[in-house]
């Protein structure tokens, strides 16, 4: 899984570089969001100025049942 997340950081970096070439869009900042972010991917993203955010997809989709949580 770590390799895929590293690839995600690489892909986001390429997108940001492309978007920042357009003076009408620049400056563009990226956020790397995933259910789990491995330490290596987090370090790579942060080194490139990309923020990291761990998200719960069930909550985002609205399928999370808050009554089934302990906290």
pLDDT tens for 26-69 read 999 999 999 999 999 999 999 999 999 999 887 778 776 767 76
CB 30 within 8 A of CB 16: yes
pTM (predicted TM-score): 0.75
């Amino acid at each position: 899984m770590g390799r895929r997340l590293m690839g995600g950081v690489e892909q986001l970096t390429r997108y940001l570089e492309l978007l920042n070439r357009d003076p009408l869009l620049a400056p563009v900042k990226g956020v790397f969001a995933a259910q789990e972010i491995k330490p290596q991917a987090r370090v790579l993203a942060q080194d490139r100025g990309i923020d990291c955010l761990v998200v719960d997809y069930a909550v985002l989709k609205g399928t999370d049942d808050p009554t089934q949580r302990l906290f």
